[in-house]
Amino acid sequence: MIPRALRGGVMPAPVWVGLLPLAALLSLSSGLCPPRCVCDDTALQADCSGAQLDSFPISLNPRLRTLLLAKNGILRLDRSMMVSSYKELEHLNLSDNGLESVEPGSFAQQGRLHELRLGNNRLAQLEGSELQGLLQLRVLDLSGNQLQELPAGLLEPVSLLEELNLADNQLQWLPAASVAGVVSLRRLRLADNQLQQLPAAALAQLPQLLSLDLSFNQLRRLRAGELAQTRAGLVQLNLEGNRLEQLEEGAFDGLGQLRRLVLSHTGLRQLEGVLSASLTSLEELYLNRNPLSSLGAAPLRLVPGLRLLSVSSCHLLGSVDADAFSGSSSLEELLLEDNQQLSQLPSGVFLPPPRLRRLSLRGCALTSLPADVYPWRTVRADLSENPWRCDCELRWLAELPANVSTEGAVCSAPAPLQGHPVRELTVGQLGCESRSDAAEVALTVALPCVLASLTLALTAVLVWRSRRRLGKRLDVLGWRARLSLRRSKPPPPPVGATSTYYYRERFSSGGDGSGRLVPVTEL
């Protein structure tokens, strides 16, 4: 039964005033979402990215699991900001804030945090106890800061750490003590720092390391076996952007599990002595932007399991050996792009790899290609941005099936065809009609003569080879004796003529027996 006071649709003042404390309590339990934030209490997530916050928000749902605070103006993080109130937090992103300091103990209560991102801030120094309490941390991003060193003991509280990103800092060395305790680390990024030598001692503390990025540092030397001494079963190694003037032979010995090797922009002038036969699992090799003048056959035979090879933007590369890829039976992608000295390729150079599916020759100096360079019907090719000379020698390229991609390939010569798409060319435009007509006439006239000559020659050979068997058959049939008798008894001469021909014959017993010469007329 509805109370009389509510029948008219108006709640008495004492009733709704009494409900205010209950409403306030419910609001505090779910938190208050700041302006420009998107809060989802069902998913327990708050996205305040780019919300123009200047301090860490403390009024959000205390049961949050994901808190995104990137691209704000939070300059300082300390314990007083009630970071400890989010005890259920699993993902925290504070990147791109201009953050200058993190007070030790700020994460003391975040024992469930799995991922902490502090990248692209202004952190210049860490004391060593900033990560206390992060017992479940798996991912730590400190990239894009101003760190000159990593203090000893910093990572000891995060013994379960699997991924550490220290890229784009000012690290000049990485002591072994700075990574002590993180034996579970699998991925380490040290790109864009100032390392002058391989931190072998630190790497030796990471037996589970699979991926190592040392790109764009100042490494100038890599000793033989130095990487193998780290005891890591590396799968990916990136050395791009270093000036490896002393890359000793055998530098990659012992890396039998390596699948991806990046040696782009390292100053390599030749591949001989660089690759190792121990790279039995190597599948991807990048050699871009190196002063390589040629690509020989011997080096690539040491890594027969390659699936992707990229030799692009090598401004001195002018020749490729005809057998350069003869041992690459597993090759699926071959990129030879933007090599502006590469003006020709030998016949059959791409024929050996039976699995090749993608071939890019974009941006080279090719004016023509032999028709037998590769069976193009099975490969996706990019032949654009080359100065193709569209004459009859390029007829095969214009007749490729539609499944082969030559999009963007246009003619640069002769002048009437300049800019014309290669795939839209006709045989007549390539100047092949006169040649084909002459060839057809020549073939029509010459073919019968050739066939007749071959028939006569074959008959003569057969007769010559059968002459002995033919003679034996004549003896069996008595034809040879008859032929001899006819030769020994010529017709008698005319009457009154003097015989001048004789037949020499030795008579058997009972005859004259003298062996005299008898005139033919007396026989």
| Those residues with Cβ within 8 angstroms of residue 45's Cβ, 6 or more apart along the chain or in another chain | 39, 64, 65, 66, 67, 68
Buried b (16+ CB within 10 A) or exposed e, 296-333: beebbbbbeebbbbbbbbbeebbbbeebbbbbbebbbb
Which span out of 192-196, 301-305, 386-390 was modeled with the highest average pLDDT?
192-196
Which span out of 66-75, 239-248, 266-275, 415-424 was modeled with the highest average pLDDT?
66-75
Q: Which residue has the tokens 């599990």?
A: 257
**Residue 403 contacts residue 394 (beta carbons within 8 Å):** no
**Residue 260 contacts residue 234 (beta carbons within 8 Å):** no
Classify residue 90 as left (phi > 0), alpha (psi -120 to 50) or beta.
Answer: alpha
Helix ranges (DSSP H) in 75-228: 200-203
Above 90 in pLDDT, residue 315? yes
More confident residue, 450 or 249: 249
Nearest to 154 by CA among 114, 182, 191, 121: 182
**Residue 83 contacts residue 77 (beta carbons within 8 Å):** yes
- In 133-189, DSSP assigns E strands to 139-141, 163-165, 187-189
More confident residue, 156 or 25: 156
- Catalogue the long-range contacts made by 118-125 (C-beta closer than 8 Å, 24 or more residues apart): 118/94, 118/142, 118/145, 119/95, 119/143, 119/144, 119/145, 119/165, 120/95, 120/96, 120/144, 120/145, 121/94, 121/95, 121/96, 121/97, 121/145, 122/98, 122/146, 123/99, 123/147, 124/100, 124/148
Above 70 in pLDDT, residue 359? yes
Cα 467 from Cα 461, distance rounded (Å): 10
Assigned token pair, 348 = 């059959």
Mean pLDDT of 200-218: 95
The pLDDT value recorded for residue 485 is 44
| Those residues with Cβ within 8 angstroms of residue 453's Cβ, 6 or more apart along the chain or in another chain | none
The pLDDT value recorded for residue 477 is 53
- Digit-coded pLDDT (tens) for 396-438: 877 777 667 777 888 998 988 889 888 788 877 887 764 444 4
Above 90 in pLDDT, residue 2? no
More confident residue, 272 or 314: 314
Above 90 in pLDDT, residue 219? yes
Cα 20 from Cα 293, distance rounded (Å): 81
Above 60 in pLDDT, residue 70? yes
Above 90 in pLDDT, residue 68? yes
Above 90 in pLDDT, residue 394? no
For Cα atoms 114, 120, 123, give the angle at the middle one, nearest 5 degrees. Answer: 90
Q: Which residue has the tokens 């021909």?
A: 501
| Those residues with Cβ within 8 angstroms of residue 21's Cβ, 6 or more apart along the chain or in another chain | none
Cα 104 from Cα 518, distance rounded (Å): 143
Domains of the chain: 292-438 (3.80.10.10)
Strands 411-413 and 388-389: parallel
Above 90 in pLDDT, residue 218? yes
Above 70 in pLDDT, residue 442? no
Cα 75 from Cα 97, distance rounded (Å): 7
Q: Residue 80 — pLDDT band, cuts 50, 70, 90?
A: confident
- Digit-coded pLDDT (tens) for 460-482: 777 666 766 655 555 555 545 55
The pLDDT value recorded for residue 236 is 97
The pLDDT value recorded for residue 54 is 93
- Digit-coded pLDDT (tens) for 493-520: 555 444 443 334 443 444 444 555 555 4
Mean pLDDT, all residues of the chain? 82
- Digit-coded pLDDT (tens) for 125-158: 998 889 999 999 999 999 999 999 999 999 999 9
Amino acid present at 210: L
- Digit-coded pLDDT (tens) for 164-174: 999 999 999 99
Mean pLDDT of 223-250: 88
